[in-house]
Amino acid sequence: MATAVHPRRASLPLPGGSEGAGVAVTPMRTAEMLTQPRFFQRPSGPLATVRGLGLLTPKSKWTWVPVPCFLVEHPTAGAFLIDTGLPPAASHDVRAALGRRAAMVYDIRMEDGWAVTDQLVGLGLDPLGIGLVVLTHMHQDHVGAVAQLPRATFVVDGREWQGANDGGFLHGYRRALYDYDYDWRALDFGAEQVGSFASFGRAIDLFADGSVRLLSTPGHTKGHMSVLLRLHSGRELLLTGDAAYSRASIDEELVPLFCDDVHRYLRSLREIRRYLELTPSALAVCGHDPECWPQVRDHYE
């Protein structure tokens, strides 16, 4: 079944950049999900994913992990989001939000007020005023609030859009969450004008001012991106997305339970680790890190 919309190619750089700009970032926990004991590191040997699902392991031994998204405030391009977290409806009805199969598989903890739209309102921002959403990838926990942001332009790697439409529930996608006739724009990291940055082989300077760099970090999914931000202070903040679930994933080179391509995943993980070695002043927030999330700041400038 075809989607309601096909993304147009992104025209880069996006407008609004300004020389020397830095951004402010507000991390938002939109929910928590209960994950298998081997979520961060799959078992070795045959049928690793099947054995790692932990179907016979008591839920008391599973781990709650955060499901974040991020508000970025650029001084001239305005406020935008990186990912959207889970749907608001997941706070009271997982089946209605994510479907019957997801309700059977996922345990979700989402309090009232955690949805990204509620948090934006709490910060004095109108969700309908959000004009841009950058998606690290299109798994359910990253595109859940797309429907609530109808005036935004959604930017995604073109390979990720294709992967999401070729995949389905077993690959982490749910078309009903993103199949809206909104303004979708596809990035091509293979384009001739795409360069490198630091340790990353392919990087896009989104506003052509160095404040927001989209980094091609495939492996977790076919078109996964991480995001590197230059803060107002000049310090850099790396949002790894699910290219690294946790800081231990980086330090110990852990291959997670769910991974589209192990070779590409490890290559991306090594680019991340090398960047952090080369830039010791940089901060990093990983995709689903329950140990480090309590240390994540409410606000970065």
Residues 6 or more apart whose CB falls under 8 angstroms from that of 58 comprise none
DSSP letters for 228-278: EEEBTTS-EEEEEETT-SSHHHHHHTPPPSS-S-HHHHHHHHHHHHHHHHH
- Return per-residue pLDDT of the chain as tens, 301 residues: 567 788 999 999 999 999 999 999 999 999 999 999 899 999 887 777 777 777 778 888 899 999 999 999 999 999 999 999 999 998 888 898 888 888 888 899 999 999 999 999 999 999 999 999 999 999 999 999 999 999 999 999 999 999 999 998 889 999 999 999 999 999 999 999 899 999 999 999 999 999 999 999 999 999 999 999 999 999 999 999 999 999 999 999 999 999 999 999 999 999 999 999 999 999 999 999 999 999 999 999 9
Measured in whole angstroms, how far is the alpha carbon of residue 149 from the centre of its chain? 16
Predicted pLDDT of residue 210: 98
Q: How far is CA 191 from CA 9, 135, 202, 268, in A?
A: 11, 19, 10, 19
The structural domains of the chain, with segments of one domain joined by +, span 19-295
pLDDT of res. 60: 85
- How far is Cα 275 from Cα 87, in angstroms, rounded to an integer? 33
Q: Which run of H or of E encompasses 9? A: strand 8-9
Neighbours of 184 (CB within 10 A): 23
| Among 233, 232, 231, 228, residue whose Cα is nearest residue 243 | 228
* Per CATH, domain 19-295 is 3.60.15.10: yes
**Residue pair 199/37 in contact by the 8 Å Cβ criterion:** no
Tell me the pTM: 0.96
